[in-house]
Amino acid sequence: MTPETKLPKVGTTIFTVMSQLALEHRAVNLGQGFPDFPVPQRLVDELARAMAEGKNQYAPMTGIPALRQAIAAKTARCYGRVVDADAEVTVTSGASEAIFDAVLAVVRPGEEVVVLDPCYDCYEPAIDLAGAKAVHVPLDPVDFSVDWQRVRDAITPRTRMLMINSPHNPSGAMLGPQDMAVLAEILRGSQVLLLSDEVYEHIIFDGVRHESVLRYPELAERAFVVSSFGKTYHCTGWKVGYVVAPPALSAEFRKVHQYNTFCTFAPAQWAFAAMIGQEPEHYEQLGAFYQAKRDRFREQLGRTRLRPLPVPGGYFQLVDYSAVSDLPDAEFCRWLTIEKGVAAIPLSPFYETPPAGQRLARLCFAKVEPTLDAAIERLEKL
């Protein structure tokens, strides 16, 4: 018996597809967004210490107190917002779980959630499983800025939530202070909740400030703010993230979280608590670390026929391949992987309706220099 699918638009994610294709064809994998360099040594040592000390059983559902307190202290230090570690901070098994839990906690069947296209591929399935409708508002196809009038027009009496992402995946675009002011004005007086996906919060370039929702009390009071230790500490496979939200929203969030994963890998929580407190310079210097990689990779791309777009934040480089091929992006990325030995991610899976004629692919530069050098050597032959 084959049940009727609850997710008719969902298949295997493009990230899994392209990574498998890269493996099969021995391509340099610049597709899926994960670093290929080690995690900080202190984090490894603290993880081993926690396991050796027997901290291997269930963690508290909301996260161990030491980690929640460290997150609260870091939130105050970075964004000037004082939060209650017990009532407003919840540790999750990755940012994707956090996004899923937030949507399922507050979005009801028949309601609407506004998302900004292109957007990360886990957003809409969570909305679908909540029985709600995703309303897609396209970003500018050139610089991926937000047309706030289109957002305003998309909000109806059925709108329950708006989802934003800065720095943005896949483009790296960032929201500025004026964006936040307009967003606050649009939501003022409404019952619309906000989900702010800030997993690349520390990977920002050129001296620009990350405009976290947590900096803006009027927005923070209606928001779930999602962060990722995996992105900040080069350990995506550990799958640890967290959510900061006001007490009432956190209470609803935890109702879903406790029956989804209940709790998150305990030794890693102890390790992150120590890392945040003892080595804050890691996240403080992360932007400079990745900016050096971005700048070197962009200089190398200048020797190819791919045209790099600006990258204000995050660790992805969009390239325009119009000078190389007229193929649609999914076909181009398959060809690039199979025939040229470099795996990239097409942009069309991030859209409900991709812009006509768009010829963009996403490359990840969170790699060691030999990996990027090997990719460039192949891309120079396009």
Q: What average pLDDT does this structure show over 212-236?
A: 98
pLDDT of residue 22: 87
Percent of the chain having pLDDT more than 90? 94
* The pLDDT of residue 17 is above 90: no
Question: C-alpha 336: how far from its chain's center?
Answer: 25
What integer pLDDT is reported at residue 12 of this predicted model? Answer: 81
Higher pLDDT, 380 or 2: 380
Which residues of 140-205 form beta strands (DSSP E)? Answer: 159-165, 193-197
Q: Which CATH class is domain 14-39+284-379?
A: alpha beta
Give tens-digit pLDDT for 200-210.
Answer: 999 999 999 99
Residue 257: the pLDDT is 98
b/e burial code for range 303-328 (CB count within 10 A of at least 16 → b): ebbbbbbebbbbbbbbbebeebeeee
What does the pLDDT look like over 23-48, one tens digit per residue?
899 999 999 888 999 999 999 999 99
Nearest CA-CA partner of 231 in 304, 301, 313: 313
Long-range residue pairs from 289-293, CB within 8 A, at least 24 positions apart, any chain: 290/203, 290/205, 290/315, 290/365, 290/366, 291/205, 291/206, 293/365, 293/366, 293/367, 293/372
Query: Hey, what are 131's tokens?
Result: 């029985």
DSSP element (H, E) containing 345: strand 345-346
Which residues have CB under 8 Å from 285's CB, separation 6+?
A: none
For the segment 166-200, what is each residue's pLDDT rounded down to a tens digit?
Answer: 999 999 999 999 999 999 999 999 999 999 999 99
pLDDT of residue 32: 86
The domain ranges of the chain are 14-39+284-379, 55-279
Locate 31 and state its tokens: 């597709």
Indicate the residue type of 8.
Answer: P
At 256-300, the pLDDT tens digits run 999 999 999 999 999 999 999 999 999 999 999 999 999 999 999
Task: Give me the percent of the chain exceeding a pLDDT of 70.
Answer: 100
Q: What is the pLDDT at residue 18?
A: 85
Position 145 scores a pLDDT of 98
CA nearest neighbour of 122 among 79, 72, 71, 163: 163
**What per-residue confidence (pLDDT) applies to 129?**
97
pLDDT tens readout for residues 50-81: 999 999 999 999 999 999 999 999 999 999 99
Residue 2: pLDDT above 80? Answer: no
Cβ pair 197, 95 in contact under 8 A:
yes
pLDDT score of 4 more than 90: no
Number of residues written out for the chain: 382
Q: Name the packing angle between helices 266-278 and 41-52 (round to 10°).
A: 130
Chain segment 334-371, per-residue pLDDT in tens: 999 999 999 999 999 999 999 999 999 999 999 999 99
Partners of residue 343 on adjacent β-strands: 29
Question: In CATH, what class is 55-279?
Answer: alpha beta
> Using 50, 70 and 90 to split pLDDT, how confident is the model at 13?
confident
Q: Name the average pLDDT for the chain.
A: 97
